[in-house]
Structure formats: C-alpha cells, structure tokens
Structure 1
Amino acid sequence: MAKKKSAKKATSRNYLKLFWQLFIAGVILAILPFLLASIGALGHMPSFEELENPESNLASEVISIDGKTLGKYAYENRTPVKFKDLPDNLVKALVATEDERFFEHSGIDFKATARAIVKLGQDGGGSTTTQQLSKLLFHGEGSKNVFGRVFQKVKEYVISIRLERQYTKEEILTMYLNKYDFLYLAVGIRSASRIYFGKEPKDLNVQESAVLVAMLKNPRQFNPKREISKDKSLARRNVVFSQMAKNGFLTEKEKDSLQELPIVLNWSPESHADGLATHFREYLRSYMNGWIKNNPKPNGDKYNLHRDGLKIYVTIDSRMQQYAEEAANEHMQNLQRIFFKEQKRNKTAPFYDVELEDRERIMLQAMKRSTRWKRMKAQGKDDKEIRQTFREKTEMRVFSYKGDIDTIMTPYDSIVYYKHFLRAGLMSIEPQTGHVKAWVGGTNYKHFKFDAVKQQKRQVGSTFKPFVYATAINQLKWSPCDSFPNTPYTISKDKYGMPDDWSPKNSGADENPEDAYGGMLTLKDALAKSVNVITARTIDAVHPKNVVRFAHSLGIDSKIPEVPAIALGSVDLSLYEMVGAYSTFANKGLRVGQMMVLRIEDKNGTILEQFTPETKEVLSEESSYVILNLLEGVTTAGSGVRLRGNWGSYPDNIATGYPYEFTNPIAGKTGTTQNQSDGWFMGIVPNLATGVWVGGEDRATHFEFITQGQGASMALPIWALYYKKLYEDESLSISQEEFEKPEDVSIRINCSDEPEEGEDPLEEKKKEVEEEIEF
C-alpha cells in the first residue's frame, strides 16, 4: 500500500515536472522569436539610429515668393507635417476607426489581437497604428507564406514596442499619416489633402478627414477618385462617422446628418505635368542638378533632389503665374480656332512656303525625333518597317483646349495634328531686382514639353531695333526728335565684308512703294512705325560691332553676327534673353541679372545657400529714359496702339483684338519675322517687363497673311490680357505710373520743341558719328 502511494506521488511529481517543463518550454518558445527578432536573427531590425531617423523619401518642394507650393520633385510625393498641423477631427476619426485604444496601449493591443485570432480577422485585424507604422517604415507589406508572415508579425511587435519607447503618441500618429500612400502620387497626409481636396491638412473639415481615414483600410478599394470604388468609399466614410459617434466624438444627430452628405472632391493633381509653372519647374530641375553637383552635404555625400526634402524658394509669384497662364490659354484658344479654320483651304497644311515633298521631309524629321521611332530603331527595325507602323491606326489620347480627347488615329496623323498647334511663351521680370515673376513655356506641358522661354531661340524681328537706336542714343546722344529721310538705303558689301550689297525694304514696299517711302521721319516715328530703312541708316552710323557689343552688355549671351542685317532682327534669340535685356531700360540703365532662386534649405530648414543677382551699369540713366520715351511712341502711335481704346469684340479677323483700353504709360515693341513665322511683343511698365512670343513648332507653320500673323495680333493680346488681370489684383502693386524722369535730361525728347537756332540735327549727328564711333 505504501509502495502504491509512493508510486502515485512519484507519478504526480513527474506530471507536475512535465507540466512545468512544457510550460517553461512554451514560454521560451513564445519568447524566443521575439528574442531572435530583437537581435536580428529573423532578418534586419532597425538600430537605435534608424529608429531615431527612419529612412524615408521626402519630396523637395518648390515654393513661390508668395508662399505657395508650385510643385515637387519626388520618388514619393511626400512633404511631412507636424502634429500641430493636423486638425482635431482627423485625429479623432483615425483613432476611433483604426485604433480605439491608441492612447492607452504600449504599441500592441492584446485585446484587439485576441479578438482578431478568435474571429479569424472577420471583425478587423488586430494591428495598432504603431504596428502599421512599423510595417510602413521597416519591412513593407509582408511575406506571402505563413512562416514568413508569422516572423514578420513578430518583428512588427518588437519594432512597435521600440517605437513606443522612442516616440510620443502624437509623433507616432503623425509619422504614420506622413508615410501612408493614398495613391495618385499622394504620399502622406499633406499631399493627400492637397491632391484630393486642394487644401492644407489643417483646413480639412470632418467630412474630408473621414474620407481620408476611410482610405487607410485600403486606398484602392475605398478611393473616392476611382469610378469603380466611389460607392465603397462613401460606405466606408460613413463607417468612420459611426465609429466617431460610438467613441463620443460625434452626436447621433451629427452622425446622421454627415452620412447623408455626398463626397465632394477638389481634385488637384500634383504630377510634374500638372499645376503652375510646369516648364519653369522643369528648367529648375536641371538648375538644381547642377547646384547639387557643386554643393555636397557636410559629410561629403550628394543631396538627392527626389528624396532629401529640400525646400527651393523661387522668385515666381503664384498669382502672376496664374494670370499669365490664363491669359496665354485664353488668347491661344481663339487664335488656334482661327488658324484651324484657315488651314482647311491649305493644301500643304499646316505649312506654307513648301512643296508637297518638303512637307514629307518635315514629317519624316518629326517621326525620327519621336519616342516610337527611337524605340523601334533600338530594337533593330529598319526605316521602312518603322515608317509603316506610323500609318497604322491605334488608340491614343490627344490634346485639345477643351480637354484631352480619346481617339483612334495613326501616329503619322497625330504628328500632323500637333504640328497644327501654335505655341506661346511669356516671361516677366521685375527690373529692379531681376526676379523672374512669371514663366510660361507653353500652354500645356504634358503635350508640349519644349520650353519657349529659355530652351527655344527664334528670330526676334523688329524687337531688336531698340538695341540699334539705344546704341545711337547712348553713344552719340541722338534724340528721338532727330529726323531722317524715309528713302531707300543701301549699304555697300565692301564696307562690312558682305557677299552682296544690303538694301532693306520697308513693310509693304513691294505692293505700295509710294506709301512705304517718302518725307522725313523722326527717330521716334521711325521706331513706332518700324521703318526699316531708317533703322538701316542708324546701324550703318553706329557700326554693327557696337550694336552687338551693346546687346551683349544687356545680358544677351547668344552669338550675334556683326552684320547690318541684325538691325531688322535676323538673329535667333531666346525670350529669356530678350526680356532680360529690355528690363535694363526700365531700371535706369542698370542691368540686373535674371534671378529665379532666392534660397535653398534642407529638410530641417537650415539655409544651404542664399542668392543675389549680378548687377552691371550698361547705359546712363538719361539714355535709358530716352529709349523708354522712344518705346512709348510704339504704344501711342505705332503698332502697339491697339493697347489703347476700345477695339470691339474678338472677331475672326484678330487684328482688332480686345477692348484693352490701357491709359497708363507703356513702353513696348512688336516684332514680326519673315512670312509671319514669329510674332513678338515686348512691353514694359516701371516695375515689370514682360515679353511674349507666339509661333509654330516649324517656321513653315504660320498664318498666310500678316493681318493675323503679325506680332500685334499674335503676341500683344496675351500681354494685354495678362496686364489687365495684374492691374485688377491690387495686392500685386503693378505700376501704372509714368517712368521716372532724371533731373537733367539734355537730349530733346519733346519733339514739339524747336531745336536751337542754326542746329541741324542730322548733319550734327553725322559728324559726331565719324568723330566718336569706336570700332
């Protein structure tokens, strides 16, 4: 009996021992994965330094001079915000819906985890916001096999506990919202707020916050932008309202009212092809890449424009940029309508001055420049085979001013279609600071990426003439009131080493020579009427070399041949160069280099570099004022006079234009190149110089007649519409005053005053030319 009792006790002890062994083994087995995970045995685990500075891609941001975000450069379009920038309704919506005990647990909600296990996840997962953050930061979306998922869940627990020790609850919640991808390039709460609702996070109302929180469950399945998921998005948003009511953040009445509301988006995409100043931002990208090469980080590494969160403060004013783009778009729609109408009767549309074989040559060149041709050439296809594919119809989306059109056409026909579109460029500079205030490189970046401001150079026509007259005024003290004969003028080929004599004609001389020539004209009238022969006399008097030298001193970098023909604008220059040069006249002869970047900061707000423009005195204050006086004559009695008065509505004959009715002083000059290939208008008021160019991609693309194709019809209306908008916005303080007159002006500018007795201006100036000219 005693033996039986002893055996029974031994068995009990063995069972108890086995129990404790199994229990301890179970505890060890339960703890072991976490221990292994913590030392990195289950894969990489973040170090203390990584937890302190979790790896992330931060978008570099382009910020206008008035504090608006113009665009971003990013792998992820993400700009972090701080907790104080999050609205209370967003925080409450997130906590109520995604993690009710967020402010109570230490990274893992065991109650929610147990519920998820028991119900097999049918009533929601058990992951906390901290766990979701650890997944986003350090190990992605998870493995596809069971063991991999278990190990990742273990790592997720460990990282979550570490995060809770390292950061406050507010910091964790903010990091999660800053990292989450809401799709459509909306990475992080700030991008999502701006893209889906067109506002900053702090301005989100409770409906908008609920929509974004609803997307945290699955940004694709519950996305309000996708047509297929709109109903699911609405239903999920209403679940958020219910959870907020359940947790006491909304009353039942408020919940019921909110659930009846539709989802209203203010869709504001932020891809590089969208938003303001797209061509400028592309230029700025190349500028920043150059800056990065020469400005390493303190540790010697290079900055990454797409992930280091740089802040680039630029001189562009978002309001002025908006008005400039609106003006260009408004005029170009009307201009394009008229151009399309004209081309219906053009056998070689959209080209003039070409034979059919020339047209095909232009088209072949365009095909060879296309991505399709280059891709197929790289695949080893021969030219004949490639050309055949350009004749095969395919689905595509093409540009129109009323929105993109889905259609079916051949790639060849799509090239012809795009060749029909006229292009436009606009640039504004504040002369006193050199700040570039507006930059319109084209009317649509997505379809027309070539930049008409800096990348493109075209013949400038009569807009070059002021440089010729300015040379004479500055060096020889010529007066706007000096008179010259309006008669044919020839410059001998031997004088400047030309192949032939040069005998320019006035506009319209071939059709009506009696109207094109005759009498005496003052320099002011000659510029206002853009009289070629008097411009030829002037450049012959001062020598082309001095005109070229003067143009370069104004900031024009392009090579200019030292021949008389440049007087009529036969040289190719960029809009960027032309506006910079003209702005010098408004700044009393002081050349201030174009300035686009104010400063660059790192992601922490530390200033990496501040910029100041280069300045140089080019001509005297008196000469600058006299040149402005000359240019004012263009807008009061010359080709720019349509800026004044009421010219009626906008008919098919665009020469009459809009009722602009400007009354303030404007110094300006129109320009039209051969065959109307380019239309220019340069216009200056005391604190803003603006240039506009309009033309086709090919010089053979132009209006048939000068009535529609001249600069006063193609380019001037954009300038006028733009300035109308500027003047209506009083916060911009664009000047309507007269140009400031120097105290002592010895050059006669009031042509109603008689010259002193015995003075013969023309003869005196001719003598001065021979005595003072520098070669």
Structure 2
Amino acid sequence: MAKAKQKKQKGFFTYIKWFWILFGSGLFLIILVFLLASWGAFGEMPTFERLENPQTNLATEFISSDGQTLGKLYLDDNRTPVSYKKLPENLVNALVATEDARYYSHSGIDARGTIRAFAYLGSKGGASTISQQLARQLFVGIRAKDWTKYTQKIKEWVIAIRLERNYTKEEIIAMYLNIYDFGYAADGIRSAARIYFGKEPAELKIEESAVLVGMLKNSSLYNPLRREELVLNRRNTVLGQMAKYGYITEMEKDSLQKLKMDINFNPESHREGLATYFRMYMQRWLNKWVKENPKPDGEKYNIYLDGLKIYTTIDSRMQKNAEDAVQAHMKNLQAEFFHQNTLKRNPTAPFLDLTKGAIDTIMRRAMKQSDRWRSMAKEGKTEKEIKDSFHKKTEMTVFDWNSDSYEKDTIMTPMDSIRYYKTFLRTAMMSMEPQTGHVKAWVGGVDYKHFQYDNVNQGARQAGSTFKPFVYAAAIDQLRYSPCDSLPDNQYCIEPLKHGNPEAWCPKNSNGKYSGEDLTLKNALANSVNTVTAQLIDKVGPRSVVAIARNMGLTREIPEVPSIALGTPDFNVFEMVGAYGTFANQGVYVKPVTVTRIEDKNGTVLYEYVPETKDVLSKDVAYAMVNLMEGVTQYGSGGRLRHSFAKEQTVYKEIITGYPYELTNPIAGKTGTTQNQSDGWFMGMVPNLVTGVWVGGDNRSVHFSSLTYGQGASMALPIWGLYMKKNYENEELGISKDAFEEPENMSINVDCTKALKKLKEELDTEDDLEDVGF
C-alpha cells in the first residue's frame, strides 16, 4: 500500500512537472515570439523615433481672418489633426463603448477579449483594441488574408504595447481618430465632421458622433450616402453600446435611435467649396514661397503633405456674400445674353461683328489651347488625329445655370463645347480693406469647376472710364484743380505729335454729342464726359498720369499717349482695387495682401507679412478725388445704388438683382465701359472697403449689342450693390457707413455750393446755372 501511495505521488509530481515545463515553454515561446517580432523577424518594425513621431500626410489648411477653414491642399490625404481637447466627450465615449470597452484598464492588449476570441474563433467579436487598430493604421497596413495574418497580429500586439508606453490614452484616441479614412477625402475626424455634417468635431451631437464611430468598422461598407439604412442601423448599434456601458441612459438611447440621420454633405475638393479661385491663387503663391523659403535643412516644404497652416486675410462671411452676389446677378445677366444671342437674332452667336474667318481663327486658337489638345499631343497623336477628335460627339458634363448643381450631362463634339463655353459671360470681383491692404473677398469667375481661368489676377482687360480718376488725380495734384472748377464740353482735339501722339486725337463722348456747356469736374467725371478728360490729360501730359498710376500699383504697360485717358490699357481687378485703395486711404498706397502668417504643423511661425506702402498723393488731393467720385453715385452713372429706376430704365430692371439697393451712406465709385460694350466695370468705395467688379466675355467679340445691358452700370455695378447690401445686413462685419474723413485745413475746395454762389452773382437767370453743369 505504501508503494502504491508512493507511485501515486510520483505520478502526481510528474504531471506537475510537465505542467510547469509546458507552461514555461509556452510562456517562453510567447516571449520569444514577441521578441522575434520586436527584432523584425516577421517584418520591419517601427523604430523608437518613428513611434515618437509617426509620419502621416497632413493637408495644408487655408484659414480665414474670422477663423474658418476656407479649404485645403492635399494629394491623397485630406488630413488636419485635432487635439484630444477639441474632441467632444460624446465622440470619445461612443468610440470606447463600441470599439474597446476596457480601453482604460489594459496596456494595449485586452487579455479577456483575446481569450474570448480564441475560444469562440472570433464568432463573438474580435479582440483588437483601439491601440492595436492604431498600430495597424500607422505601421502595419491592410489586413493580410494568408498565414501572414497571424504574424501581422503579433506585430500589432507588440506595436500596441509600445504605443501605450509612449503615449497617454488620450493621445492614442486622438491619433486614431485623426488617421482614420472615412471616405470621400474625409481623412481624419476633422475632415469627416466637416464633410458629412458641415461642422467642427467639437460641435458634433451624440447621434452624429455615433454615425462616424459606426463607420470605423468599415467606412466603405457603412457609407451614409450610399447605404443609408445600413448606416442608420449601425449608428443605433453604437447608441446601444453607449447605453450598455452607462454613457447615456436607456431613455436617451431610445430617443436618439428614433432620429433620422441628418447628413449635410460638404465635399472638400480643390474645385468645390468656398473661395475656390482664391485657393488656387494661393497654391501658385505657395509654390513660389516654398522655393524661396526652404526648411532649415535645405529641403523644400511640401505644400500637400507637411500640414502648413496659411492664415489668410479673406473673411469667410464676406466671401460668401461676394459669391452669392456674383451668382445671383450673373445668372440673370446670362439669361438676357442668351435671349439676345439666339441664332435667329444673331447668326454668328455668341460673337458679334465678326466674319466667319475671324470666328474660325478664334475657335482654332481655343482648340489648340485646350486640355484635350495638350494631353493628346503628349500621347504622340498627330495633328490630324487630334483635330478629328474635336469633331466626334462624346458624352460630357457641362456648366448650366438652370440646373440646381449648375451642371448637366449632354452629348456634343468638343468643338461645339468650346463654342458653348464662349457664350458664357465671365466676371471678377475683389474686395480690400484700404488701410491694411487685406483682401477680404476674391471671386475669379462664376464656377471654378468649369471656368478655371482666374479673372481677378490672371486676366487683364481694358479699364475704360475707371482709368479716368488717375487723370483727374494728376490734374488736381499738379494744377491744383478743384472738383468745382469747370471746363467746356466741346469737341476737343490734341494736335498731331503733341505728347508723342502720331496724329490728331479728337475723342467723342459716349453718346456722340457735345453739350457746349461748362461742366464742373465733379459733374464731368460723374457722367464720364470724354472731352473734359481729354482736356485734362492735355494739360498735365500722359507722362504725369502714367507716373501716378504706377505709384498706385498699376504695373502693366501703360503707353505715354493721350488716349490712355479713356482707359485703353489693360489691367486686372487685383491691381485696380489696390490703386483705388490709395484714394480711400488718404493718398497712401498699400499693396494688397492675402496672407498674414504661415505656421508649420507644430505651430512654429514660418512667415509674417510686412506691409508694403507708398505715399502717393497728399491727403487733400486724395480727399478731393473721393469727393469727385461721390458724384458718380449721387447723380452720375452709379446713381442707381441710391435711387429707384426711372420709367425708361424699367426695360432691364429684371436683370438688376436685388434692386433697389437704396444705399444712403456716402459711396465713392466709378463705372467703366469699353468700346462695343466688351467690358463692364464698377469700382466702389466706402471708408474701410474698396471693391472692384469686372464683367465681360471670354473674347472681346462676345458682348451685348447696346449700352442698355452692356454698360458697367448694368453688368458690374449690380454685383457691388448686392454684395454691399448683404454686408450691411451683418453688423459684425463692421463695414463703414460713415463719411470719408476730411483732412484738417483742407486746401482744395470741394464745397461746390461756394462756387455756385459766386457764379450766381455773375449770372442773370437760374437757367444759366444749369448750363454750367451744377
């Protein structure tokens, strides 16, 4: 019996021994596997440095002066990280409840969940913790399907543990939400919140956070735009998990689950969103800046990957007002243009006054400048093959004002599409604070997706009568003229060879008539009387006018000939707004600026703007010019900003969107119309905002046939009026309604009532007063 007992004890100890041998061997094997994984036996592992600074592609962000994101620049990853502090509590709770309920109690691996996953072969859920999922996103990549999925899982475990050692729980959550791809270029939680709900992450409601957390399972499958019912059910599952773990009550869960998904889709692409033309201008500006400002190690900043923050001068509210004003007016104006340019009314539509040969030349030039021509030429296609392709019908999406999306699908030849796009009027608008040069709004066209040429900065067209104030400024500055001085409205000729003119120059007024009356300078500018402008440039000489224009920021070529007085040189809206800002800023030119500061992803300041200014005019001359241009809106071509339409003007009232504007505050401005109504301009100023608008065709031969619709007061001024009307509705913008500041000891007489009184004493009847232009 004793022997049996001994044998039994021996057998027991043998079992114990083997148990510990097997246990130790298993433990050793696990440790060995982890060591092998950490040594890179199962594939490259991240270094300590990479763990400390995981590399993710970060989009460059454009930030408005009022703190809103205007848009981003990126290649593949539209990612802008946010800190844990900026994540709403309900989002974090939803994440933990759904993805890793024991997140705060483990160190990267959930042992309980792992054992359950092994025991039930994953049928009751996996065991990937948030840390493991982050490890996969950052360093492991797409989940493998062959035997390597096991070594991949081991790598995830090792990296997860390392992440837990290097980062706090809060940092890991932020990193995970910042790196996840939610689809539709929604890389990271900030992009996802903006794209799917049109708001910042901190503004997300519980049910909205639940939608985004639900997408973490598989953003392609749980896509709220394509599988609404599936995503709704997944959202309700997340809400159920939040109730299960006590983050919300059962009553809250039931209430939230009954809500519909309120998806507010706002795609973020280079061709969509707010300030598209401005953002593309900034892309060109940044490309130049990074070449001239390398990193400390000599490398260039990557504007698509390095997460730069560009603090711009644009005010998102004013930008929205500007875009709304452009769309509202241009849609109506375009409808009238289409009405006048049917093939029945105009066989050469949309071109006017051109022969077939001239039109063919324009079309061939446009064909060779097209993207289709360039891409086919790159492919090695012959010129004949390329030309033939332009006459084959194909499916395409084109711009259409009458569609809700401003697009329609159609079938036409590429050549017909070129002609179709020629029919659309183009526009440009820029608004600037004259005291600082800060550009507040920038609209380069009617729709960037279909019209990518930026008419604010890239385009240049004849300025027409908007150039006349530079002639008047030279006369007031050099000859000390007053707005109240007068000149006769008679035919006026500048002799041949005078001022470098090869032949006599005898400009006519726009109506072809001469009143024979003496007109004050204020009246003459208000009504764009060409004969008076010709007299002024004859007195001061073209060279003086060119010098003043150059000092006010007009850098394009200006020939020193008298005809420039009527605005024959080409300028763009960017330059013209900067120049007019000199008048509003008491004679000091401030170069327009669009960027105030650039920071890297860590907040280090890389660039700060230094204003570029120049004293051009005395305060007296600048104020006299403002006073002159106030006459334009008081009783001149800009008067419709204040008054109701006269009966004879109601013929085109329907195109003047937002009319009557009935603006009662002081406004200085100037309209401009070029030959054949090819260009319509309006430059408008209040004390702290200068805005320029241009409207015209892609070619000068695309225009209205008469001044009724083709003048600056009809084409461009309404955009300014609607924009300012919208600005004044928002008092937070602080747009001035005050009078322009008059300098102390003003040396130039701007009170024409004094001149009127003196003149009245010299004249016999009141009728004579009308003859002198008062």
Same fold by TM (over 0.5)? yes
- Partner residue, 1:765: none
- Partner residue, 1:95: 96
Asked if structure 2 preserves the Cα contact closer than 8 Å seen for 1:109 and 1:126, the reply is yes
1:737 pairs with 2:738: yes
Between 1:671-680 and 1:298-307, the stretch displaced more is 298-307
- Partner residue, 1:529: 527
Residues in 2 aligned to 1:69 and 1:664: alpha-carbon distance in whole angstroms: 32
Residues in 2 aligned to 1:36 and 1:102: alpha-carbon distance in whole angstroms: 26
Q: Which amino acid aligns with 1:88?
A: E
Asked if structure 2 preserves the Cα contact closer than 8 Å seen for 1:33 and 1:151, the reply is no
Measured after TM superposition, the shift of residue 704 of structure 1 is 1.3
| Structure 2: stretches of 5+ with no match in the other structure | 760-774
Q: Which amino acid aligns with 1:185?
A: A
Deviations 1:659-700 (A, max 9, x none): 111221111100011111110000111111111001111111
Residues in 2 aligned to 1:635 and 1:257: alpha-carbon distance in whole angstroms: 58
- Partner residue, 1:717: 718
TM-score (norm 2): 0.92
Residues in 2 aligned to 1:472 and 1:522: alpha-carbon distance in whole angstroms: 13
Asked if structure 2 preserves the Cα contact closer than 8 Å seen for 1:642 and 1:656, the reply is no
Cα 1:594–1:122 shift into 2, 3 Å: same
1:472 pairs with 2:475: yes
The 5 Å alignment of 1:229-628 reads 229-344=227-342, 345-401=345-401, 402-403=404-405, 404-509=407-512, 515-628=513-626
Asked if structure 2 preserves the Cα contact closer than 8 Å seen for 1:672 and 1:711, the reply is yes
Residues in 1 aligned to 2:521 and 2:598: alpha-carbon distance in whole angstroms: 47
Residues in 1 aligned to 2:123 and 2:746: alpha-carbon distance in whole angstroms: 88
Q: SS of 2:232's equivalent?
A: helix
Residues in 2 aligned to 1:490 and 1:232: alpha-carbon distance in whole angstroms: 79
Measured after TM superposition, the shift of residue 173 of structure 1 is 1.0
Q: Which amino acid aligns with 1:676?
A: Q
Asked if structure 1 preserves the Cα contact closer than 8 Å seen for 2:333 and 2:655, the reply is no
Asked if structure 1 preserves the Cα contact closer than 8 Å seen for 2:587 and 2:616, the reply is yes
Residues in 2 aligned to 1:252 and 1:737: alpha-carbon distance in whole angstroms: 58
| Structure 1: stretches of 5+ with no match in the other structure | 510-514, 759-775
- Partner residue, 1:49: 49
Between 1:162-171 and 1:490-499, the stretch displaced more is 490-499
Asked if structure 2 preserves the Cα contact closer than 8 Å seen for 1:676 and 1:709, the reply is yes
Q: SS of 1:560's equivalent?
A: coil
Q: SS of 2:104's equivalent?
A: coil
Measured after TM superposition, the shift of residue 478 of structure 1 is 1.2
Q: SS of 1:753's equivalent?
A: helix
Q: SS of 1:679's equivalent?
A: strand
Asked if structure 1 preserves the Cα contact closer than 8 Å seen for 2:329 and 2:656, the reply is no
Q: Which amino acid aligns with 2:197?
A: F
Measured after TM superposition, the shift of residue 528 of structure 1 is 1.2
Measured after TM superposition, the shift of residue 752 of structure 1 is 3.2
Asked if structure 2 preserves the Cα contact closer than 8 Å seen for 1:647 and 1:656, the reply is no
- Partner residue, 2:632: 634
Between 1:266-275 and 1:115-124, the stretch displaced more is 115-124
Cα 1:391–1:125 shift into 2, 3 Å: farther
Asked if structure 2 preserves the Cα contact closer than 8 Å seen for 1:647 and 1:660, the reply is no
Residues in 1 aligned to 2:655 and 2:135: alpha-carbon distance in whole angstroms: 65
Q: Which amino acid aligns with 2:427?
A: A
Measured after TM superposition, the shift of residue 334 of structure 1 is 0.7
Residues in 1 aligned to 2:391 and 2:116: alpha-carbon distance in whole angstroms: 63
Q: SS of 1:414's equivalent?
A: helix
Measured after TM superposition, the shift of residue 573 of structure 1 is 0.5
Q: Which amino acid aligns with 1:191?
A: S
Asked if structure 1 preserves the Cα contact closer than 8 Å seen for 2:509 and 2:530, the reply is yes
Q: Which amino acid aligns with 2:448?
A: Y
Residues in 2 aligned to 1:444 and 1:692: alpha-carbon distance in whole angstroms: 16
Measured after TM superposition, the shift of residue 754 of structure 1 is 3.7
The 5 Å alignment of 1:71-82 reads 71-75=71-75, 76-82=77-83
Deviations 1:26-68 (A, max 9, x none): 5444433321221223222112221111111122221111111
Asked if structure 1 preserves the Cα contact closer than 8 Å seen for 2:484 and 2:521, the reply is yes
Q: SS of 2:547's equivalent?
A: helix
Q: Which amino acid aligns with 1:675?
A: N
Cα 1:143–1:753 shift into 2, 3 Å: same
- Partner residue, 1:62: 62
1:695 pairs with 2:696: yes
Between 1:66-75 and 1:432-441, the stretch displaced more is 66-75
- Partner residue, 1:645: 643
Cα 1:8–1:743 shift into 2, 3 Å: closer
Deviations 1:185-208 (A, max 9, x none): 111111111111111111111110
Residues in 1 aligned to 2:444 and 2:186: alpha-carbon distance in whole angstroms: 26
TM-score (norm 1): 0.92
Deviations 1:369-393 (A, max 9, x none): 2221211122222233222222222
Residues in 2 aligned to 1:434 and 1:724: alpha-carbon distance in whole angstroms: 22
- Partner residue, 2:665: 664
- Partner residue, 2:772: none
Between 1:452-461 and 1:36-45, the stretch displaced more is 36-45
Between 1:384-393 and 1:214-223, the stretch displaced more is 384-393
Deviations 1:81-112 (A, max 9, x none): 12221112111111111111111111111322
Cα 1:719–1:385 shift into 2, 3 Å: same
Q: Which amino acid aligns with 1:209?
A: S
Residues in 1 aligned to 2:332 and 2:656: alpha-carbon distance in whole angstroms: 13
Q: SS of 1:367's equivalent?
A: helix
Cα 1:118–1:700 shift into 2, 3 Å: farther
Measured after TM superposition, the shift of residue 254 of structure 1 is 2.3
Measured after TM superposition, the shift of residue 608 of structure 1 is 2.2
Q: SS of 1:153's equivalent?
A: helix
Residues in 2 aligned to 1:241 and 1:197: alpha-carbon distance in whole angstroms: 18
Asked if structure 2 preserves the Cα contact closer than 8 Å seen for 1:680 and 1:716, the reply is yes
Overall identity of the aligned pairs, in %: 58
Deviations 1:333-381 (A, max 9, x none): 1111111111112211111121223222222222222221211122222
Q: Which amino acid aligns with 1:716?
A: L
Measured after TM superposition, the shift of residue 14 of structure 1 is 10
Q: Which amino acid aligns with 2:508?
A: K
Q: Which amino acid aligns with 1:32?
A: L
Q: Which amino acid aligns with 1:727?
A: Y
Q: Which amino acid aligns with 1:80?
A: P
Q: SS of 2:171's equivalent?
A: helix
Q: SS of 2:753's equivalent?
A: coil
- Partner residue, 2:214: 214
Measured after TM superposition, the shift of residue 274 of structure 1 is 2.0
Measured after TM superposition, the shift of residue 270 of structure 1 is 1.8
- Partner residue, 2:134: 133
Deviations 1:402-441 (A, max 9, x none): 3122223222222222211111111111111111111111
- Partner residue, 1:749: 750
Q: SS of 2:351's equivalent?
A: coil
Measured after TM superposition, the shift of residue 301 of structure 1 is 3.0
- Partner residue, 2:675: 674
Asked if structure 2 preserves the Cα contact closer than 8 Å seen for 1:650 and 1:656, the reply is no
1:112 pairs with 2:110: no
Q: Which amino acid aligns with 1:235?
A: N
Asked if structure 2 preserves the Cα contact closer than 8 Å seen for 1:591 and 1:617, the reply is yes
Between 1:43-52 and 1:703-712, the stretch displaced more is 43-52
Between 1:563-572 and 1:499-508, the stretch displaced more is 499-508
Q: Which amino acid aligns with 1:117?
A: F
Deviations 1:433-476 (A, max 9, x none): 11111111112111111111111111110000010010010111
